[in-house]
Structure 1
Amino acid sequence: MKLMKKVLLVLLLALVVVVGGLYWAGTRDDSSTGPAAAAADASTLVERGRYLALAGNCMACHTSRGGKALAGGTPIPTPFGTVYGPNITPDEKTGIGAWTADDFWQALHNGKSRDGTLLYPAFPYTEYTRVTRADADALFAYLRTVPPVSQPNRPPELEFPYDQRALLAAWRALYFKPGVLEDDAGQSVQWNRGRYLVEGLGHCAACHTPRNRLGALRSDQAMGGGEIPVLDWYAPPLTNDMQTGMGRWSAEDIAALLKTGMSGHSSVSGPMAEVVLGSTQHLSDGDALAIGVYLKSLPATPPAGDPPKAPVSPAAVELGGKIYLQQCAQCHQPAGEGSGMAWPALAGNPTVTAPSPVNAIRMVLDGGYAPATAANPRPHGMPPFGQILNDSDIAMLVSYIRNSWGNEAGGVTPLEVKRARAASTRN
């Protein structure tokens, strides 16, 4: 029966491929899709590209742990299988040494490789299409200066039928339209800069927007938070909802989090800690604040589709409060107000009040540190409690912090803790 369903799916998608292929053929452009950047001082262009590579966090997907910089090989797990970041050093045979600036622009803007092969959207060209030609040329100029590494690219390991690359034509017809982001004349220069970084090079939606069953972003829930597939973390909403989002934050608070990994409202953990370490701490103060300004302009209401809150047991919350006073109040304070930048508040903390409790559960289980950044080189840490507290204890504790001091986030079950405990040992 399972095989039959897959066969029917392939037949259906094959029909869509025909339509998608016509769409793609009508919009493809294997030469330049825009004017190349005006000639600029080479060193200035390269330095600009270096900054953009940091802002776009290129190292995260193109540098494997312990490997050479930008030589590829990083496994990128998806619900459909694993893809591997390619070699983007200027090696002639295994990297992009034979590419032109037009080839590179096509990859970012149209999601196509040098030979016209359609790229898997694990490479976020759905967001990078908004990058300007000038910035693409600067990025390419910088990549031409990194040391070339001869390292063949590893092919993706995807399940059938997702390993059929031709099906991407159908996916693109449904979910992708190339286009550079135009400035909004009704908004400030700062707001437009923030939108460009968030929606383009920073590709924030890739994690903070939920996806449908085919891996496409759900535009009706933009920045509404989403599960990070396979990694078992949750990217909280970036909307301005007072309960689940960033309604209590200022633009300056957001900028501080991006630069230091800490703010009075929260600290980063999991995948976002890696983003701050490898990318956002390197943003200029102006760019970090511009992102904050743009995010503060997002809707205050939660997007449609938020899951219903789990019921809360008063008895469990009462017992969780006792555990909190014993284990947590010394740092996070009895009323959850935190201790400045050392230990973040739990009241109004988006990690705590997010629709999914998984981040809060994993922090209690495993503890951790915010990333050591230039602006905050010695962050305070949180000890793990997974060896001290059982699943029921942690469920009661997290239920308490999610429903105290004005938080209204719903309850947590021991089964959810058990699943998070299993995920923490897996990853």
Structure 2
Amino acid sequence: MNLPIPRLVRCLGLVFLALAGVSLHAETVEERGRYLTVAGDCASCHTARGGVPFSGGRAIGTPFGAIVAPNLTPDRETGLGTWDADDFYRAMHAGKGHDDSSLYPVFPFTSYTKVTRADTDAIFAYLKSLAPVKRAVPEPTLRWPYSMRSMMAPWRALYFDEGEFQPDPKRSPAWNRGAYLVQGLGHCNECHASRNRFGAMLTEPYLAGGIIPTQNWYAPDLSMGRHGGLSGWTEADVVALLKTGRSAKGTALGPMAEVVLQSTQHLTDADLAAMASYLAALPERESAEQSESAAGADDLARNGKTVYVAHCAQCHGYDGRGKGDAYPALDGNVSVTEPTGINAIRIVLSGGFAPATRDNPRPYSMPPFSQKLGDDDAAAVVTYIRQAWSNKASAVSPGDVRAYRSTPGG
């Protein structure tokens, strides 16, 4: 092989840089910021239906009223045009606005406080690189006294712990990276936790599951240990779900489908593996005592088997084990066995629609049965699948079905 001397010198130089561990592609701050906004799923909240990404306008419901997500483009009048990096860091880290007013925790600064200054600066640099969009958003429509921002002072004193993530030197780099993403930018506990009457997350035990306010879905316990919501899952199962929207153990539906679509499918394999590593290390949960069957639950389950055979078994199997990648197993499925029964009721009534991801572009979906099944039959089949095979979850009632049939959800 005969190479011209200048080309040979250049090739040797590139080899030397590669051996020295120097990246041959210098990622810009804006590129890193773009990746981090995807990890934080920022566009989902800060984009109205049909609107320009990050220009705000999506109403976020809370038990106390609605708050419209603000414009994050660099428009000087309606967006972040007059903000600087310090302002943005204060919002992320301390939950304080440009005018030093307290932000409402529908903006998850309770999690974003863990994000490093370097990463918030990168996110801000990316947002400042966007084309400005003039779009003012309305003020929150919160009930009194929650409409008084002064009420945030005692709330913050009771429920907000400010501080960046601190790596644990006793843990692996992968665990620390996963903890940083799950606790911080991923803000997973904002959904996967119960909340008290004042809207504050219950953090002990961490990621223990809870009903998502106003969306009427149950975000499951994320512990993979014994008695955890993901007990029996492997780290590979978690990565598959986050990357493709489906795994051997379950499918991303409801609000989680949007998270996969807009955020996690775009993360690197290394980051997804790190998140799975962190979840795998969550503590085991205490065994939950099984409640006694409600009156008539046995009859419901028997009737439910008939409904299941007629409408469900062809896809999900008579043994509840599903069929390959197309139809998920119901035996041991966390969406079936979660404590409330909400998810199974909603899926039976409204159908199950997995996200179309890069690695699963044409997912199978489950049709809704709200027009075919009355409240009694829907309660019967949900009760059956929650108690059939190895499942040992509590029964649901026709009243439960009726409540979620008439209640909107995300």
Once residues 377 and 240 of structure 1 are traced to their aligned partners in structure 2, the CA distance between those partners, rounded to angstroms, is 28
CA-CA distance at 1:43 after TM superposition: 5.7
Question: Aligned with 2:406: secondary structure?
Answer: helix
Q: Whole-Å Cα distance in 2 between the matches of residues 414 and 153 of structure 1?
A: 41
Q: Choose the corresponding residue for 1:230, options 214, 232, 239.
A: 214
Distance 1:373 1:257 in 2: 11
1:273 matches 2:273? no
- 1:329: Cα distance to partner? 1.1
Q: Which residue of 2 aligns with 1:201?
A: 185
* Distance (Å, rounded) in 2 between the aligned partners of 1:348 and 1:300: 17
Tell me which residue corresponds to 2:59.
75
| Larger-Rg structure | 2
Out of 230, 252, 255, the residue aligned to residue 239 of structure 2 is 255
Q: Distance in 1 between matches of 2:327 and 2:199?
A: 36
Q: Is the 8 A contact 2:227 2:285 kept in 1?
A: no
Deviation, 1:252, is 0.8
1:58-79 per-residue CA deviation (whole Å, 9 max, x = no partner) reads 0111101111111111100000
Post-superposition shift, 1:243? 5.3
Partner of 2:22: none
The residue type paired with residue 129 of structure 2 is: T
Shift of 1:308: 4.9
Task: Report what 2:12 is aligned to.
Answer: none
Q: 1:347 aligns with which of 306, 331, 352?
A: 331
What amino acid maps onto 2:207 in structure 1?
Answer: M
Q: What residue is the counterpart of 2:95 in the other structure? A: 111
- Structure 1 unaligned spans of 5+: 1-40
Q: Post-superposition shift, 1:302?
A: 4.5
| CA shift digits 1:96-128 (9 cap, x unpaired) | 111111111000000001221110000000000
2:397 to 402, 405, 413: 413
Paired residue for 1:16? none
Structure 2 residue aligned with 1:184: 168
Distance 1:194 1:42 in 2: 24
1:144 maps to which residue?
128
Residues paired across the two proteins, number: 385
- 1:110-166 Cα distance to aligned partner (Å, 9 max, x none): 000122111000000000000011110110111011110011132100000000001
Structure 2 residue runs of 5 or longer lacking an equivalent are 1-24
Task: Report whether the alignment pairs 1:327 with 2:311.
Answer: yes
Distance 1:307 1:150 in 2: 55
Who is 2:8 aligned against?
Answer: none
Q: Are 2:342 and 1:358 equivalent residues in the alignment? A: yes
Distance 2:207 2:98 in 1: 32
Separation (CA, whole Å) in 1 of partners of 2:217 and 2:167: 33
Q: Tell me whether 1:122 sits opposite 2:83 in the alignment.
A: no
Question: Matched residues in 1 for 2:92 and 2:286: separation?
Answer: 31
- Residues 308 and 44 (structure 1), Cα distance of their counterparts in 2 relative to 1, 3 Å cut: farther
Contact 1:343–1:380 (Cα < 8 Å) also in 2:
yes
Tell me if the contact between 1:244 and 1:354 (Cα under 8 Å) persists in the aligned partners: no
Q: Does structure 1 residue 45 correspond to structure 2 residue 29? A: yes
Measured on the aligned residues, the alpha-carbon RMSD in Å equals 1.8
Give the match for residue 17 of structure 1.
none
CA distance in 2, matches of 1:102, 1:315: 62
Q: 2:77 aligns with which of 93, 97, 119?
A: 93
Quote the offset at 1:303 in angstroms: 8.7
- Could you say which residue in structure 1 is the equivalent of 2:18? none
Look up the equivalent residue of 1:113 and give its one-letter code. G
The alignment partner of 1:134 has SS state of: helix
Displacement, 1:210? 0.4
Is residue 161 of structure 1 aligned with residue 145 of structure 2?
A: yes
Secondary structure of 1:423 counterpart: coil
CA pair 317-240 structure 1, distance change in 2 beyond 3 A: same
- 2:41 and 2:262 in contact (8 A); partners too: yes
1:54 aligns with 2:19: no
Compute the TM-score of the two structures, normalised by the length of structure 1: 0.87
Tell me which residue corresponds to 1:317: 301
Preserved contact between residue 92 and residue 98 of structure 1 (Cα < 8 Å): yes
Q: % of aligned pairs identical?
A: 50
Aligned to 1:389: 373
- TM-superposed deviation, 1:220: 2.1
SS where residue 77 of structure 1 aligns? strand
Given that 2:228 and 2:285 are in contact with CA atoms closer than 8 Å, whether structure 1 keeps it comes out as no
> Partners in 2 of 1:184 and 1:307 — Cα distance?
37
